[in-house]
Copies of this chain bind each other. A is one copy, B any other.
Amino acid sequence: MYPDKKTTIQDIAARANVSISTVSRVLNNTAPVAEETRRRVLRIIDELGYKPNLFAQSLAGGQSRTIGVLTQLIGSPFYDVILRGILQGIEGSGYSPLFADGGWDGNKDRIALNMFMDRKVDGLILLNGHTSDDYLVDLASQVPMIVLGRVIPGLEELCLPFDDYEAARKATRYLIETGHRRIAHITGILSHEDAIERKNGYLSALAEAGIEADPDLIIEGDYTEPSGVMAVEMLLMRGRIFSAIFASNDQMAYGARLALHRRGLRVPEDVSIVGFDDQAPSAYMIPPLTSIRRTPLEIGEVAGRALVDLMQGKPIRLPKFQSVLMIRESVMRRL
């Protein structure tokens, strides 16, 4: 059922009447081998179901055929899909992914990164995180690396940002175009870069339209549904008028939507909502939620492939990904 794990390169060499060096050569294509010899060795390898011992290879060669993937919180939809994309991107490359979860905690990031280095990963993909730029610059000099969702000064060509600013601007602008002037914003965790970017995008769209931002209409959430309801409660309590809400992610939009409902406010008749991330359920909310869609699967796949190229010394060029606003029914034109 499972190939005999005890076959070594020695066995192959013996059976094929060559030295282990030769076997190693046909295995790695590292030097010319006579066609006939190559074929014979290959046949025997196949017959015996020989698989080189990866540890021996790594020890001797210095390659672990492993890449480290550091995510921030397994279980958050957007990142998880990126993860799947990465898996697709490296599929067939011979590299296997070692995972770690930083939990949006710089310390855990460090620990994970150290673990990766101890295990001598051949490459690294970071999904955002709270590690300092300096540390990453240093790290990048030691191992091929791709950084998602963040741009590190000095490593621009290895970074693939997520377009948070532009997307948030686009979302806010849409609300403005549909006639809204008093637009509330439920932000994400403001210690996260992406939340800041989105807030800035919102602010910029307002400024662009000559609308003065009202601090009272900006509430910090934490990316969870409950924080969405809290935000609406807060907004209502403050008594400021608003006709629309731009939430920094869909989960908070869900929360906001329910809170509005509880207070007898209709969506979109009384209040319009736009979310961010376009999670699967959003199109099935009542009413279906207008939201910003990104392409996490593609992002992950591109990152995975780029890392493989990078590890093989090929030049890489990371594309820019554009977000698109999925217009549904949670926004109503205001006259």
A142 pairs with B2, CB closer than 8 A: yes
A106 at the interface (CB under 8 A from B): no
CB distance from A142 to the nearest CB of B (A): 6
Chain B positions within 8 Å of A83 at CB level: 74-75
Q: Please, what's the 1-or-0 string for A98-136, where 1 marks a CB less than 8 Å from any CB in chain B?
A: 111100000000000001011110000000000000110
A211 at the interface (CB under 8 A from B): no
Decide yes or no: A75 and B64 within 8 Å by CB, A96-B100, A98-B96, A284-B258 being known contacts: no
Chain B residue at minimal CB-CB distance from A135: B1
Chain B residue at minimal CB-CB distance from A255: B284
| Copies held by the complex | 2
B84 pairs with A281, CB closer than 8 A: no
A284 pairs with B254, CB closer than 8 A: yes
In the complex, A180→B258 CA distance in Å?
A: 27
CB distance from A147 to the nearest CB of B (A): 17
Interface residues of A in 53-74 (CB under 8 A from B): 53-56, 58-59, 64, 66, 69, 73-74
A324 at the interface (CB under 8 A from B): no
A48 at the interface (CB under 8 A from B): no
In the complex, A164→B281 CA distance in Å?
A: 23
In the complex, A255→B288 CA distance in Å?
A: 11
Partner of A257, one of B1, B5, B280, B284: B284
Partner of A80, one of B1, B5, B80, B279: B80
Q: How large is the interface on A (under 10, 10 to 19, 20 to 34, 35 or more residues)?
A: 35 or more
A81 at the interface (CB under 8 A from B): yes
Chain B positions within 8 Å of A134 at CB level: 1
A278 at the interface (CB under 8 A from B): no
Partner of A225, one of B75, B80, B280: B280
| Residues of chain A whose beta carbon lies under 8 Å from any beta carbon of chain B | 1-2, 5, 51, 53-56, 58-59, 64, 66, 69, 73-75, 77, 80-81, 83-84, 87, 96-101, 115, 117-120, 134-135, 138-139, 142, 224-225, 228-229, 251, 254-255, 257-258, 261, 279-281, 283-286, 288
Can you spell out 25 A-B residue pairs with CB atoms less than 8 angstroms apart? A1-B134, A1-B135, A54-B118, A54-B119, A54-B120, A55-B55, A55-B120, A69-B99, A74-B83, A74-B87, A75-B80, A75-B83, A77-B77, A87-B101, A96-B98, A96-B119, A97-B98, A224-B280, A228-B284, A251-B280, A257-B286, A258-B284, A258-B286, A258-B288, A279-B281
